[in-house]
Amino acid sequence: MSIKAKCVLFDIDNTLLIKKPTIQEKVYEAARPLLPELTMEDVERAYASSELWQGEQIQRENETGVRMPDGEYLQNILRIYRDALGLPEELPEELRGVFMRNYTMEYEPAPGAAETLETLKARGLSLGIVSNNTSKVRGALDRFFGSIVISEEAGLYKPDPAILELACKQLGAAPGESVYVGDHPFDILCAHSAHMPVIWMPVNPYMSVPEHIGPPEHRVESLSEIAGLLE
């Protein structure tokens, strides 16, 4: 079933932009000397677990108004990877640095990003970005969007539906006339909490949707599929 929409909102990370190198690649590179039998599949599973925990933690913070200190947040991420991969309690400096993002990283457009945005814009659809990120993600694709709502700037964090509602207000569209495109299970929760359909595009094969969130309206494997789902 196609979706009637006047407005399409996009996540950034793992949706429109891809980090290079990925944290999974860096973890694998740094942990392999400790764990010679480690596979990328092992790391991808650990990454999926850490992403689900982060979604749950941000939801708790939204509900309580209490932010976890950065150091404690990092320790939780380390615990998840330790448990999943069998890493030692004391991590080598190089591996700890990976989790602290002490390495050079660049964003590049996801395959089909510019072409998909051009197609949607040519149809007269309003386009926006809603991302739990920092201002550093602004870049080459910004020209396509009438609204860019970044959590660091807005003080709102998915899955709080207010962040999607803000983008809709800026674009002059109701949530029910809009659709959200994202890669994270909590993108589904955020959209449904705003009474907005969602197109889910998971890039991690081990990412599952918790039962309490429920399924998305559509699941796609690539951005090029999106235009065909919209009326």
Q: In the prediction, which pLDDT does 138 show? A: 81
pTM of the model: 0.94
Q: In the prediction, which pLDDT does 140 show? A: 72
> pLDDT for 111-158, tens place per residue?
999 999 999 999 999 999 999 988 887 887 899 999 999 999 999 999
Q: In the prediction, which pLDDT does 43 show? A: 98
Query: What confidence tier does 1 reach under pLDDT thresholds 50, 70, 90?
Result: confident
> Token pair for residue 14?
């793992």
> pLDDT for 51-62, tens place per residue?
999 999 999 999
> pLDDT for 169-204, tens place per residue?
999 999 999 999 999 999 999 999 999 999 999 999
- Say if residues 32 and 26 touch (Cβ distance below 8 Å): no
Phi, psi at 92, each rounded to 5°: -60, 155
H helices of 132-184, in order, are 151-154, 162-171
> pLDDT for 207-216, tens place per residue?
999 999 999 9
Q: In the prediction, which pLDDT does 164 show? A: 98
Nearest Cα to 10, choosing from 146, 136, 181?
181
Share of the chain above pLDDT 90, in %: 89
Q: In the prediction, which pLDDT does 2 show? A: 84
- Say if residues 14 and 203 touch (Cβ distance below 8 Å): yes
When pLDDT is averaged across residues 5-16 and rounded to a whole number, the result is 96
Contacts 24+ apart (CB under 8 A), 96-101: 97/30, 98/23, 98/26, 98/27, 98/30, 99/23, 99/27, 99/74, 100/74, 101/23
Asked if pLDDT for residue 67 goes beyond 90, the answer is yes
> Token pair for residue 97?
């640095």
Asked if pLDDT for residue 98 goes beyond 80, the answer is yes
Share of the chain above pLDDT 70, in %: 100
Phi, psi at 165, each rounded to 5°: -65, -35
